[in-house]
Each structure stands twice: as structure tokens, then as C-alpha cells.
Amino acid sequence: MTVSVADARAVLAANDRGGYTVPTAKLYPFQWNWDSAFVAMGFATFDLDRALTELERLVQGQWADGMIPHIVFHAPADTYFPGPEVWGTHHAPPTSGITQPPVLAIALADLARRGADPARVRALYRAALANHRWWWQARDPEHRGFVALLHPWESGRDNAPSWEGPLARVPETTTTEVRRRDTGHVDASMRPSDSEYRRFIHLVDTYRAAGWDPVRLWQAAPFKVGDVGVTAILLGAEAALLGLAATHGTDADQAEIAARIAAGEAGLRRLWCDAIGQYASHDLIGEALLPAPCSAGFLPLLTGAPGAAEVAALAALLRRWKAEGQLLVPSAPRDAPGFDSARYWRGPVWAVVNWLIAEGLRRHGETELATQVRADTRAAIEGAGFCEYFDPLSRAGLGGDGFSWTAAIYLLLAEEGAAP
């Protein structure tokens, strides 16, 4: 299959709903939080104004307490479940009540570096600062140095093997009728199971009943996991925010952000797991590390947390996975319990995670491996098109197609000369 920069731009244009971009038609017909940040960086390669608008539309969904929801329902659509009536939040525009990986400041720093309008950057900087404060206050109230998720959807890695143990505590009973729409658009073998879905909706029911108040949610949560992926992304975003604060913030902002980075990097170091030679998430209810090998375990490379020994171990593991014939970077490796090369976050390769891992490898001087990860990403997209995710063994394109964030990553890779 031949794909080009023009094709990638056409995917973004096709998914543009007027200032915000849906991840893909039908399967995800609204604005998704971390998708939007990658999409903004994709737009920024050719249209900075449109890139800023993407982020501005996202923060229209921001709550008064700083939380940025994982979905903003700008316009109705009947091809998705659970819609705004299930979430029952009280925001205009309507939103979900949980969040997603905070890539916003990483995208904003990229736009600023390219010369985006400073006044618009400043307004978004304030939104990102409020959001980061929310993360640490609402999701690390015990000051452990890593942030917790109360729903697997908040990780963006909905059905990752790491969630299996913690999710087993969540009952399958729901007060909402579960009417899955996703399996009408994509083969059920590529999506989370029905049992997982019922538990996902049980959590939504629980939090809606708690009125979406962060303190009550923390107390009520039957799922509470300190996530290595989101914590690493948040710290990468904090570093981006610190850079922006030099121009757009105060000295006090800079001191506050630097203190959070120091505490967060110390927290991440406590998530190192010798058993898998990677960083791991931590189950706050069972008080145990969740030693499941996964792509998220490399994301601390985005931060200053890893020392030379950890960088070497992570690089060696990636090289091993590659030598075993896997397209980098599988969301779970082929020898992991629960591996399924086609099922969402149980094996498939995701372009956005690859882009983040490559950035992290570059930060730590592993440039050759960073180039390998980028080349694998490019090969996957050129082989199968702008699919949602890719089989790490067969390289087949899976999930939704015409996918915005895959197109956005292709544009970033193309700009760096990693694609024609």
C-alpha cells in the first residue's frame, strides 16, 4: 500500500468536524482528549492555526477543578456507547467524567516551538497548568509521587493485561443497560471482552452515583491503580510545561512545576520492577506492583527517572522483542500471559505510544533504537494504512481505519525524514 503526506492530511480533513477532530468516523464520533493532542501536532506540520484550535476546543471541555475529560461531546452522535446521558455530568459542552493521558502540554510546547500565536499559547498554558495541578491533587492525594487512575479508560490502554487483577474486583453488575456499539463497527475479536465492558460501565455507574466529585470518587473507587504510563506522560508534560512557563508563566509557576517533576521522578523510580526489567503500574488497593510486560513500561524514558542501568535494561528488552520477530513496540509481547496479537492493548502496536517511546529513547541517547522504533512505525503504516493499531506479528492493520492519530504520527515522522 502506498501512503503519502497528502493522504495523511486527507485523513485529518475527513475527520475534521469544524475545529475539532474525531479519532475516526462512527467508532469514535466525538473529541477524545489524548487523540486531540497528537492530532494538534499533526496539524502543526502544515497549519498552526488549526492546530491551536484543536487544543482550544479540547479545553472547552475542561472542568472548573482543572480536570480535562476524556471525551468532549460537542455534537450528538448515535454510533457510540456510553454517550452523555450515561455519564450524567453537568458541563457545557457535555463531557465524560473521567480523564485520559495528559499529552496537552507536550503538544502545546511543540506548537509554541513552531511559532504559534503567543496569546493563544498563553491561554492554553494556563489550562494545562490547572490540569496538572488537578492531577496531583485529585489523583495523588497520598503523595506517593505517581498518579492513580480510577478507570482503565483513563490509561488509554483500556484492556491492558496489567488491569486484569485490579479489574477482577469490579463487579459486572450495572444500573445502566450496556448497549455496545463498538462491536458493530469493528470485529469483536479486536475489542475488549463483554465482561470487561460490563465492569467498565459498573465503574461509570459508581462514579455517577458519587456525583463526579474527586474526593468521593477516590473513596468509592473499586479500581485504583498508580499508572506508570500516565505518570510518565504527565511528567513529560510537566517538563514541556516548565519550558513554556519561562515565557508564559511566573517564577512561582516554575518552582511549583520543578518540585512536582522532582517528586514524580522519585515516585516513578519506585515503580521499577526487577521481575520484568521494566517499570510497572502499582495496584493501590492490593498494594502491589503489577508485573505485566507492556509498552507503557518504557514510557518513563520520557522523564529523568531512569538511570543508566534502567535505560540499558529497557533498551536490551526492546532489542530482544525485535530479535524475536515482533514489530516494535507491541503493547504486550508475544510471550506475555494474555497476549493476543489482534485484541486492542493485548499485543497490537500503537503509533502514538511508539512516538512517545522514541522521544524517550532519544532523550536518553538511544538514538539507534529510537530510529528503529520510528522505522517500524512507518513500515506498519505504509504496509497497512492509517489503521487504529497493528498486529505485531503479521503487521496487519486493525481496529478502526482512517484514524486521525495514526495520520498525525505519520506527518511527524515524515517531517523528520523517516517517511517519504
Using CB under 6 A, which residues numbered 64 to 103 contact ligand DGY? 70
Site size for ligand DGY (CB under 6 A): 4
Enumerate residues 6+ apart whose C-beta is below 8 A from 282. Answer: 146, 225, 226, 228, 270, 271, 288, 289, 290
Of 140, 283, 310, 388, the catalytic one is 388
Determine the 3-state secondary structure of 179 from DSSP: coil
* Annotated catalytic residue 368: no
79 or 254: whose CB is closer to ligand DGY?
79
**For the range 357-364, what are the long-range contacts, defined as Cβ-Cβ under 8 Å and sequence gap of 24 or more?**
357/295, 357/298, 357/299, 357/301, 357/329, 359/236, 359/301, 359/302, 360/232, 360/236, 360/298, 360/299, 360/300, 360/301, 360/302, 360/303, 361/301, 361/315, 363/301, 363/302, 364/301, 364/306, 364/311
140 or 182: whose CB is closer to ligand DGY?
182
Q: Binding to ligand DGY by residue 205, rule CB under 6 A? A: no
Instruction: Supply the minimum distance, in Å, between the C-beta of residue 61 and ligand DGY.
Output: 13
Q: Binding to ligand DGY by residue 158, rule CB under 6 A? A: yes
153 or 298: whose CB is closer to ligand DGY?
153
Here the cell at position 162 is 496489567
Query: Under a CB-based contact definition with an 8 Å cutoff, are residues 55 and 107 in contact?
Result: yes
Of 158, 164, 205, 401, the catalytic one is 158
80 or 146: whose CB is closer to ligand DGY?
80
The residue among 274, 264, 320 whose CA lies nearest residue 297 is 274
Here the cell at position 141 is 492525594
Q: How far is C-alpha 370 from the geometric centre of its chain's CA atoms?
A: 19
Instruction: Supply the minimum distance, in Å, between the C-beta of residue 125 and ligand DGY.
Output: 26
70 or 343: whose CB is closer to ligand DGY?
70
Here the cell at position 42 is 499533526
* Annotated catalytic residue 158: yes
How large is the angle between the packed helices 351-363 and 228-248, nearest 10 degrees? 60
Q: Binding to ligand DGY by residue 151, rule CB under 6 A? A: no
Count the helix, strand and coil residues of the chain and give each as a percent rounded to the nearest 5: 50, 5, 40
Residue with smallest beta-carbon separation from ligand DGY: 153
Q: How many CB atoms lie within 10 A of CB 79?
A: 14
Binding mask 164-183 for ligand DGY (x = CB under 6 A): ------------------x-
**Residue from 153, 207, 212, 410 that binds ligand DGY (CB under 6 A)?**
153
Instruction: Supply the minimum distance, in Å, between the C-beta of residue 376 and ligand DGY.
Output: 23
Instruction: Supply the minimum distance, in Å, between the C-beta of residue 153 and ligand DGY.
Output: 4
Here the cell at position 134 is 488537578
Here the cell at position 181 is 456499539
Instruction: Supply the minimum distance, in Å, between the C-beta of residue 272 and ligand DGY.
Output: 28
Query: Under a CB-based contact definition with an 8 Å cutoff, are residues 336 and 342 in contact?
Result: no
Instruction: Supply the minimum distance, in Å, between the C-beta of residue 140 and ligand DGY.
Output: 22
The residue among 125, 90, 155, 98 whose CA lies nearest residue 331 is 155
Determine the 3-state secondary structure of 238 from DSSP: helix
110 or 182: whose CB is closer to ligand DGY?
182
Instruction: Supply the minimum distance, in Å, between the C-beta of residue 162 and ligand DGY.
Output: 16
| Residues noted as catalytic | 158, 388
Chain residues in the site for ligand DGY (CB under 6 A): 70, 153, 158, 182
